[in-house]
Structure 1
Amino acid sequence: MAHPPHRFHLILIKPTHYDDDGYPIQWRHNWIASNALACIYALALDCRDRAVLGPQTEIIVHARDEICQRVPIKAFLRQIANDDNRVLVCLVGVQSNQFPRAMDIATPFLAARLPVIVGGIHVSGCIAMLKELPPDLREARARGISLFAGEAEQGRFEQVVRDAYAGRLQPVYDFLDNPPDIAGQPQPILPSAILERSGWRSISIFDVGRGCPFVCSFCTIINVHGRKSRFRSPDDLEHIILANQRLGIHQFFITDDNLARNRNWEALFDRLIFLRERRAIPLRFQIQVDVRAHRVPGFIDKAVRAGVDQVFMGVESVNPKNLTGAGKNQNHVEEYREMMLAWKRHPVVIIGTYMIGFPNDTTESIRRDVEFLKHELPLDIVYFTLVQPLPGSRDHQRLADQGAPMDMDMNKYDTTQPVTAHPLMTHEELRAAYLDAWRRFYAFGHMATIFRRMFALGSNKKLTTANRLYWFSYFYPHMGIHPIDGGEYPIRKRRDRRPALPRENPILFYPKNLLRVARHTITRHFYFHRVRGLMWRIYRDPATADYRDAAIVPEDTGR
């Protein structure tokens, strides 16, 4: 069959961000793929399959997730030149900390006079919440980069593609005031080349709903996706599962900010139960819920039956003043244990986010809170973050309106470092407290306690718990990066260093990098096997079955 005479390239790039040395964080295999990239890739394939540019133009779709793939810019430029420079370069799902890297990726494409558009939470959040564009977005516009705010379904991405093909790409596409209905829209999917390098080669990612009814001041989701929830249908969900099954994928992270508030949760779970029990698909899921999901009748039991074995929840703080100040009024500390034990009736790994650096925090209070997490709650994993005024949040909007000093380097907005003044702690004290929290919670003595609780409660999630404990305990204390940015076998290229920093001498760079990779590989393997060994020792200990402590004894037992 003859190819159409014209070819138009859609290049979709999900950028990474720079580490403290100024090099892009990259791995041969990273922790988890990008749902934003999966959504846009599906829309791009839909444009290709429907031939939206006409039967005489073939759309060629390229997708790269930079945290686990090299972006072959020179090869792209040669290929595009052969097709008369018909292309649209899309920088997809760009978070605030990824925006500087996105701009550097755009540079060679702009030098070749090619159209570039950037979207994601940073662009959308700034346009949604600020009175005027911040300096980095103004600079992007001055360089000729188009901005996309909002979500891309219901023909919005197709409109951008058509405009780029016609040579009339608009400076700004703003769809924030009209979030699309996502039911029946192209379902998120990723190419196998990305899946093979993400999530231990067996996990993919998707959403079945968007929007959140809560009003947390640090959250960007509610101001970008809105507070009105919108959902995919059970048929959409089944299509996602079957499409991934053909790629050999049966494990998934469902990215919905709060699946328990999806009014269609029961129909969605019923469809997953059908696929597991009638179609014998060995499905496993990690979901995100709020701390009151156990109050939804039947939700936990059906979630587990549908294949949920990991639950990610926003604990955020055990200080009521911090929760009230952040607008997290749905969280009640006195109910945390009851809620977690409701999940622990099943073999479920609980991952809780915990934020450090609220205005009331001090070094001493943070230590007390971490000890509370360790001794009073049956948490398996804690995902620590530093409080940051992320662009798109009410916290950032308030500080911007006040003219308060905030660090202008967006690369630092990765929730691991201070970017604005704290009323009670210096930047150095905050950094030290943050590191101390990771070390205290993930001390080997406490990891032993987590394993004892797991076996005492009858869970069979030995390897899942051990793998998560290894992953979350290793990366920040040992490499200075958040576990969500972690991976296996680091990649660092000398010429990729941030342009503002000097390029290192090759005689120094390559030996130093070789030692860095060797050190990481050796210590990672040692740490991994040490955590696994700890788990097996406790598993074989006859006393483990009778283990009890305050965290796994319900409040009403009169302990």
Structure 2
Amino acid sequence: MIGIGGMGVQFPRQRALLEYYRGLGHFVVAGGSYASLCPEQYAGLADTVICGEAERIWRRFCADFAAGSPRELYREEDMIDLGESPTPRFDLLQLSRYTTATLQFSRGCPYLCEFCDIIVMFGRKPRHKRLEQIARELDALRVLGVHKVFFVDDNLIGNRAVAKQLLRFLAEYQARHDYAFSFGTETSLNLAEDAELMQLMRAAGFRWTFIGIESPDEASLREMRKVQNMRADPLAAVERIHGHGIEVMAGFIVGFDNDTVATFQRQFDF
């Protein structure tokens, strides 16, 4: 069995891989964000499509596959309680080929950015794992000699109160284990509004965060419904984050209806 997953922008490569492995006689399964949002695109390409969060439906698929009767489509209709999420089998990865390992604390984001599929897939109310689950995952990575970890949450601070609980826990964990890890993650720009949050991130060992700045143009931000980026000057916000020892990896988008040819130079100047 071969499983292939990815985002919409990666669909051509997914299609090529699915066709290749299926052509060799393998049973191929498609999953991930694009398969969850547009499962019809995989008709004729995959033997089975996993649509939605996988904690429950993957187990059902595996049981059906073992019994010789897998279905073409497995669809999760509910929002999963992340307390059900098992510790990943990191030991099955060739970790020497990875610069960074990944884990996830939460799913969902409270914002309404019109271009983003996160709230479609995971909802606007962030859900999170228990702290003991994160401890088990970090323990597993530490035993395997991993030192760089990327929290792949689409917005780690979607629920600030819960995020602060996590960060305090991570700071204690790091102190107990001689600061074994260097962390990175994804946050919204309003991280810069909360000095305590930035201090906690640094104390926990976060060295960088990806932030979707998207555009320096307020009209474009308003068009994309990313109003949380309009509360303060974005350069000043980035400087405040840098001032707490956290690097910012910024994402930008060009091509909104409000954009013009002049947008390219404005992005470059920013």
Q: TM-score, normalised by structure 2?
A: 0.91
Report the equivalent of 2:82: 182
Partners of 1:219 and 1:355 lie apart in 2 by 12
Q: How has the CA–CA distance of structure 1 residues 184 and 121 changed in structure 2, closer, same or farther, with 3 Å as cutoff?
A: closer
Counterpart in the other structure of 1:90: 3
Counterpart selection for 1:243 from 129, 136, 140: 140
- 3-state SS of the aligned residue for 2:71? coil
- The yes-or-no answer on 1:365 pairing with 2:263 is yes
- Measure the CA separation in 2 of the matches of 1:194 and 1:185: 22
Aligned residues: 269
Query: How far did residue 272 of structure 1 move?
Result: 1.1
Measured at CA, do residues 168 and 361 of structure 1 come closer, stay the same or move farther in structure 2, by a change above 3 Å?
Answer: same
Task: Give the match for residue 145 of structure 1.
Answer: 47
Residue in 2 that maps onto 1:451? none
Q: Secondary structure at the match of 2:169?
A: helix
Tell me the equivalent position of 1:38.
Answer: none
5+ long unaligned stretches in structure 2 = none
Distance 2:84 2:38 in 1: 29
Write the letter of the residue equivalent to 1:309: R
The superposition leaves residues 336-355 of structure 1 with CA deviations (integer Å, 9 ceiling, x where unpaired) of 23422322222221111111
Q: How does 1:375-454 map to 2 (within 5 A)?
A: none
Partner of 1:278: 176
AA aligned to 1:194 is Q
Query: Which amino acid is 2:49 matched to?
Result: L
Match of 2:250 in 1: 352
Whole-angstrom CA distance in 1 between matches of 2:174 and 2:68: 48
Letter in 2 for 1:163: D
Distance 1:189 1:208, change over 3 A: farther
CA shift at 1:137, angstroms? 2.6
Q: Does 1:106 align with 2:11?
A: no
Q: TM-score, normalised by structure 1?
A: 0.46
How many Å apart are 1:237 and its aligned residue? Answer: 1.1
1:227: Cα distance to partner? Answer: 1.8
> Following superposition of structure 1 onto structure 2, how do residues 393-542 of structure 1 map, counting pairs within 5 Å?
none
- Is the Cα–Cα contact under 8 Å of residues 212 and 257 in structure 1 kept in the other structure? yes
* 8 Å CA contact retained: 1:189, 1:240: no
Q: Are residues 1:196 and 2:196 paired? A: no
**Alpha carbons of structure 1 residues 313 and 107: separation in structure 2 relative to 1, 3 Å:** closer
**Matched residue SS, 2:144:** coil
Deviations 1:72-129 (A, max 9, x none): xxxxxxxxxxxxxxxx3322x32223333333333355446553221111111225xx
**Aligned partner (choices 297, 318, 321) of residue 216 of structure 2:** 318
Distance in 1 between the 2:89 and 2:107 partners? 17
Match of 1:267 among 165, 169, 178: 165
Q: What amino acid is aligned across from residue 178 of structure 1 in structure 2?
A: D
Q: Which amino acid aligns with 2:81?
A: D
Q: Is 1:304 the counterpart of 2:202 in the alignment?
A: yes
Equivalent pair of 1:215/1:328 in contact (CA under 8 Å): yes
Mapping for residues 132-171 of structure 1, pairs under 5 Å? 133=40, 136-140=41-45, 145-153=47-55, 155-171=56-72
Amino acid at match of 1:90: G
Matched position secondary structure for 2:213: strand
Amino acid at match of 1:101: R
Does the 8 Å contact 1:260/1:296 carry over to 2?
no
1:122 aligns with 2:22: no
**Superimposed CA distance per residue, residues 369-390 of structure 1 (whole angstroms, 9 cap, x where no aligned partner):** 321x2xxxxxxxxxxxxxxxxx
Give the conservation status (yes or no) of the 8 Å contact 1:266–1:302: yes
Q: Aligned with 1:97: secondary structure? A: helix
Secondary structure of the residue aligned to 2:149 is: strand
User: 1:166–1:114: structure 2 CA closer, same or farther, 3 Å change rule?
Assistant: farther
Mind listing any 5+ residue stretches in structure 1 that lack a counterpart?
Answer: 1-87, 128-132, 374-559
Following superposition, the deviation at residue 159 of structure 1 comes to 0.6
Provide, for residues 476-505 of structure 1, a one-character-per-residue CA deviation record: whole Å limited to 9, x for no partner: xxxxxxxxxxxxxxxxxxxxxxxxxxxxxx
Does the Cα contact within 8 Å between 2:223 and 2:258 map onto a contact in 1?
no
Equivalent residue letter for 1:198: Y
Matched-pair contact (CA < 8 Å) for 1:241–1:250 = no
Greater Rg by CA: 1
Is 2:125 aligned against 1:224?
no
Q: Name the SS for the 2:221 alignment partner.
A: helix
Aligned-partner SS, 2:138 = helix
Amino acid at match of 1:156: I
Q: Which amino acid aligns with 2:64?
A: D
Name the structure 1 match of 2:228.
330
Match of 2:65, SS? helix
Root-mean-square deviation (CA, aligned residues, Å) is 2.1
Letter of the 1:126 counterpart: C
Look up the SS of the partner of 2:210 in the other structure.
strand
Cα distance in 1 for residues equivalent to 2:20 and 2:189: 46
Task: Confirm or deny: 8 A CA contact 2:157 2:188 kept in the other structure.
Answer: yes
